Amino acid sequence: MPTFSQLKLSGAARPLVDRLLARTASEADKTRLKDALVRAAGTDLNKVLSASEVQALVDSFQAVAGTDAVLTSAQLGQALDRGATALQSMESIGNLDGMTTDFTLGGSSVEAKLIAQLNTSVGRANGRPMDVNMTIFEFQSDAIEKAIVDIAKKNPNVTFRIIADSTQASDVGGNALPSILRSKLPNIQVKYKKDFPYVWNAALGRPDYSHNVTGGLNHHKGFSTFIDGRPDTLVTGSFNWSSTADTKNYEDLTTFENKDSSSRRAIEQFGDEFAGYWNNAAAVASPNVFANFKGTKWNEMLVAHGKPASATTNRPDDSYAAYTLPTDTKSADLNAFSLTDRARLDTLLGAPLAKTVVANRKKYGRFASLADLQERVPATATLAPEKLAALNFGSGLVSINTGSKDELRQVGFSAKQAKAIVDARAKNGDFESVDDLAQVPGVTAGALAKVRDSLSAVDVEAFFNSRAFGDAQGGTGYGSAGSRTTPAMGADGKVHDVAASVVVAATDLFNRAKPPSQVSVAMYGMSPSAPEFKSLTDAARRGVTVRVVLNDDFNDGTVDALKALRTQGLPIDVRVQKAKTMHEKFGVVGDDVFAGSANFSESSSTKHSENRITVKNHPETAAAFQARFEELWNKSRPTP
């Protein structure tokens, strides 16, 4: 932590600081206040004290003692406590790492928050080319439908591409996509997951829908956005797009904005998966092509059962062009340590000004905003608007779990130390904290102390399952995730490089859990035959406390299996939610969380198109999901 003399005071902050110092009664109280001002400056992860940061303390002084009276030591303590609370609120609102989680039935609409996130991303685009890539299982929300159509009409720079489950191709049940397609907007494109979930119904003399024979659902729920190629936002979770999900179900929705290298990687992974999915003709089809596919399969079933084929006329081919995920070639994150961002700063600002900006960041920490940049480096105020629009203001942190060797070197590690860090995490999996670097050969305490303020251990990773129509078995994604591997803890307690499937996203956390830790799982559907179930119960056998909340429907066998293990003395407890649909699919292990669309079932892990995302070493996200779990636990029925 810097000293007060090492802070840079903004012009607007200086008179406020002088006013506060004049209200202290002793040198000791002045020192207490200066320490508080240092902490206030760190609210946005830099060493610059802004007027808004000081104002939080000014307001606290006024609340405790009013006017400009000198505060007693006791009053000063009260004021500093109030100020600390206000600053924590400012930090939360600022959302420096770009991660937020929302839950239904908490007093506000998750549907509205999803729409707000979409509109916020469109606002950031400000007319620049923007891709919105959506994948959704159920879409019956009038509000989200209206938001998409309104945005498409008003913003021709925004292109929506939507992949939906096969069940969404019909108007039945208020499905939104047929209505959206009737608007005939050129910047809205839709594809449906290829599937023919029908069995022969002798009584009806025709095919009849049966969920049990699906060849694989599109079970994703969310969207990612890219502005002029730059990853911008990812919104995903258990939340289907319907008023029922928003008002009657327990659901979750997590947003990742591109403010941190870990969040950015997850957005990129979802974008890559979407492009591979969209371009896979065996997996998805445009509306007319899908209708023709369904008609052909329908007639094949009729003929196979001695019935004449229906008289149909194929619809004209409406296939879309192949989609290439755009590449960001222009933007630069002023707070990043990547060589790419550094090179782009030279292009955008010119080498001399870029050097000045980087030097200022090294001395005082990240730039919090464009206004902060222009106050600290006045020459940037004269930059052309298009250059200013290309500047981004990330967290200024490099994750020791995702950072490249080059980024770790730019932070301040030597080439040898950076290599040792990358090699260690490849061998042992994720670091649990920055302190773990002290165990890496060659990383000295002094080297770590110099760069600690620029490091985090947060790791966000996306995992996928996939299965195109007619495939004999599923895969781990349509994009590059289909061949991606990840270091994960196995049941043998060793780290292995394995396929990055939705199963591994959960089992890695369960296999790492050690007593006396606790695992909390809320799952809509869970099968005792699922690999996640075995990994979860193995954790209990090691002495880890396991608590599970399940939805009331379809889980009787799982409840019985968990109760049987409990009677054997394992630290397992299970409750069932009956009052409302418990549709969430998350788990919490310490400061680690997994969430997404996938249940614990063989269908989820081998057949459906699913996602599961992990957020590791992030106490705020873990605390939010743990609080939700406790709410569900307290509102669910114990099992005798």
pLDDT at 94: 75
CB 254 within 8 A of CB 621: yes
Mean pLDDT of all residues in 178-187: 97
* pLDDT tier, 230 (very low <50, low <70, confident <90, very high otherwise): very high
pLDDT at 92 over 80: no
**Does residue 292 sit within a domain?**
yes
* pLDDT tier, 1 (very low <50, low <70, confident <90, very high otherwise): confident
Same domain for 218 and 291?
yes
pLDDT at 438: 95
pLDDT at 119: 98
CB 535 within 8 A of CB 511: yes
Burial of 426: CB neighbours in 10 Å, binned 0-12, 13-18, 19+: exposed
d(CA 190, CA 90): 40
* Counted domains in the chain: 5
d(CA 599, CA 533): 11
Mean pLDDT of all residues in 394-399: 94
Q: What is the DSSP letter of 365?
A: B
pLDDT at 368 over 80: yes
d(CA 217, CA 194): 9
**Does residue 162 sit within a domain?**
yes
**Does residue 325 sit within a domain?**
no
- Residues contacting 266, CB < 8 A, separation 6+: 234, 256, 460, 461, 462, 613
Same domain for 295 and 210?
yes
Same domain for 509 and 436?
no
**DSSP notation for 367-413:** --SHHHHHHHSGGGGGS-HHHHHTEE-----EETTT--HHHHHHHT-
d(CA 36, CA 42): 10
**Of 408, 429, 457, at which residue does a domain stop?**
457
pLDDT at 187: 98
Could you tell me which residue, 311 or 91, shows the higher pLDDT? 311
Q: What amino acid is encoded at 413 in this protein?
A: F
Same domain for 537 and 557?
yes
**Does residue 333 sit within a domain?**
no
**Does residue 521 sit within a domain?**
yes
pLDDT at 497 over 80: yes
pLDDT at 312 over 90: no
Same domain for 177 and 299?
yes
**Of 59, 94, 129, at which residue does a domain stop?**
94
Same domain for 428 and 466?
no
Nearest alpha carbon to residue 23 among 12, 37, 9? 37
* pLDDT tier, 392 (very low <50, low <70, confident <90, very high otherwise): very high
pLDDT (tens digit per residue) in 107-156: 999 999 999 999 999 999 999 999 999 999 999 999 999 999 999 999 99
Angle at 395 between CA 390 and CA 396, to 5 degrees: 90
**Does residue 316 sit within a domain?**
no
d(CA 63, CA 432): 41
Same domain for 385 and 404?
no
Same domain for 85 and 150?
no
* pLDDT tier, 93 (very low <50, low <70, confident <90, very high otherwise): confident
Same domain for 57 and 176?
no
Which domain, by its residues, includes 36? 4-94
pLDDT (tens digit per residue) in 23-79: 999 999 999 999 999 999 999 989 999 999 999 999 999 999 887 889 999 999 999
* pLDDT tier, 625 (very low <50, low <70, confident <90, very high otherwise): very high
**Does residue 99 sit within a domain?**
no
d(CA 261, CA 634): 36
Nearest alpha carbon to residue 116 among 143, 149, 153, 154? 143
Mean pLDDT of all residues in 503-531: 97
Q: What is the percent of the chain where pLDDT is above 90?
A: 92
pLDDT at 289: 98
pLDDT at 535: 98
pLDDT at 481: 83
CATH code, domain with 147: 3.30.870.10
Q: What is the mean pLDDT of the chain?
A: 95
What count of other Cβ atoms lies within 10 Å of the Cβ of residue 110? 21
pLDDT (tens digit per residue) in 450-461: 999 999 999 999
pLDDT at 89 over 90: no
pLDDT at 159: 98
Mean pLDDT of all residues in 204-228: 95
CATH code, domain with 439: 1.10.150.320
Same domain for 131 and 147?
yes
Same domain for 522 and 621?
yes
**Does residue 15 sit within a domain?**
yes
**Of 457, 475, 505, at which residue does a domain stop?**
457
Same domain for 124 and 178?
yes
